[in-house]
């Protein structure tokens, strides 16, 4: 039986998409006790003796669970182990880098309020400036869907690389493996952040709870129109 109940990210209808999802969704997740278990990705769960009610409420349960520091620390040690194992499965970006997930509207974003999930590119630039201030010299890798013409504000900057329309599993692993990850309003990059051993930045308004050790950026704050995405390097 196929465990996937929802897949929202196959924008270009690739035939290989399901295999990409399965590469992530069939990870050897630790067999935690049911009351401490969380199914991580696209509502996919391995066989485990839990009640249907628990499975249906896993997201709400986990959001409440990690609000306490002790619980967040408990979850972190298990989740990061999964991320560490996942990094071994695919090649990642060499050197120190910050991954930036720029979520775009897709064909399934028809539900009311979904357009509010899309952050302005200048908001990401503002957050990237904050990251660069704390990590001088870091490179940025922007993950998204679309054409290069849609991302002029990023493509004109040599410190930023664009990874567009890549396979889901390689994108996910690169986000998990990043030294710094900027999460968008997306459960995809949120899940990557939970598995990551790196520094995580998330928008200050989100429907999931953040662990206490994540940093946040202002989702309404952006650079001025016409400014370059990153500040010039001081000589």
pLDDT score of 3: 40
Q: Which of 7, 11, 8 is nearest to 146 (CA)?
A: 11
Q: Which two tokens stand for residue 16?
A: 């290989």
Q: Is the pLDDT of residue 149 over 60?
A: yes
Q: Is the pLDDT of residue 222 over 90?
A: yes
pLDDT digits 0-9 by tens, 157-175:
999 999 999 888 888 889 9
pTM of the predicted structure, to 2 decimals: 0.75
Q: Is the pLDDT of residue 145 over 60?
A: yes
Helix (H, G, I), strand (E, B) or coil at 99: strand
List 161's β-bridge partners, or say none.
Answer: 141
Q: Where are the alpha helices (DSSP H) in the chain?
A: 17-25, 52-56, 58-65, 69-87, 121-134, 152-155, 168-177, 187-195
pLDDT bracket for residue 85 (50, 70, 90)? confident
Lowest mean pLDDT among 21-30, 66-75, 167-176: 21-30
- Count the Cβ atoms, other than its own, within 10 Å of residue 157: 16
Tell me whether strands 97-101 and 180-182 are parallel, antiparallel or unpaired. Answer: parallel
Q: What domains, with CATH codes, occur in the chain? A: 13-235 (3.40.50.2000)
| Percentage above 70 pLDDT, the chain | 67
Report the pLDDT averaged over residues 49-73: 70
Whole-angstrom CA distances from 56 to 19, 38, 52, 61, 98 are 24, 11, 6, 10, 34
pLDDT score of 113: 59
pLDDT score of 92: 67
pLDDT digits 0-9 by tens, 108-120:
566 665 556 789 9
The whole-chain average pLDDT of the chain stands at: 77
pLDDT score of 87: 73
pLDDT score of 168: 82
pLDDT bracket for residue 71 (50, 70, 90)? confident
Identify how many contiguous H helices and E strands the chain contains and give both numbers. 8, 6
Rg over CA atoms, the chain: 18
Q: Is the pLDDT of residue 192 over 60?
A: yes
Q: 27-32: long-range contacts at Cβ-Cβ below 8 A with a sequence spacing of 24 or more?
A: 27/82, 27/85, 27/86, 28/85, 29/82, 30/78, 30/81, 30/82, 32/78
Output phi, psi for 139, to 5 deg.
-95, 155
Q: Distance between CA atoms of 159 and 141, rounded to whole angstroms?
A: 9
């Amino acid at each position: 039986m196929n465990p996937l109940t929802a897949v929202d990210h196959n924008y270009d209808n690739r035939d290989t998409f399901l295999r990409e999802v399965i590469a992530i969704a069939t990870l050897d997740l630790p067999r935690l006790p049911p009351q401490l278990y969380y199914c991580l990705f696209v509502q996919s769960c391995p066989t485990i003796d839990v009640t249907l009610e628990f499975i249906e409420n896993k997201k709400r349960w986990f959001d409440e669970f990690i609000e306490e520091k002790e619980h967040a620390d408990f979850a972190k040690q298990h989740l990061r182990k999964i991320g560490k194992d996942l990094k071994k499965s695919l090649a990642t970006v060499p050197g120190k880098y910050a991954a930036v997930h720029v979520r775009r509207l897709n064909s399934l974003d028809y539900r009311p309020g979904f357009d509010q999930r899309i952050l302005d590119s200048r908001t990401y630039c503002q957050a990237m400036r904050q990251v660069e201030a704390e990590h001088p010299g870091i490179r940025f890798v922007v993950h998204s869907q679309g054409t290069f013409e849609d991302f002029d504000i990023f493509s004109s900057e040599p410190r930023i690389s664009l990874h567009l329309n890549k396979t889901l599993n390689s994108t996910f692993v690169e986000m998990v493996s990043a030294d710094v990850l900027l999460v968008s309003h997306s459960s995809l990059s949120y899940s990557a952040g939970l598995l990551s051993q790196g520094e995580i930045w998330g928008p200050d308004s989100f429907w999931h709870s953040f662990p206490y050790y994540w940093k946040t950026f202002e989702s309404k704050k952006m650079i001025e129109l016409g400014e370059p995405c990153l500040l010039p390097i001081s000589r």
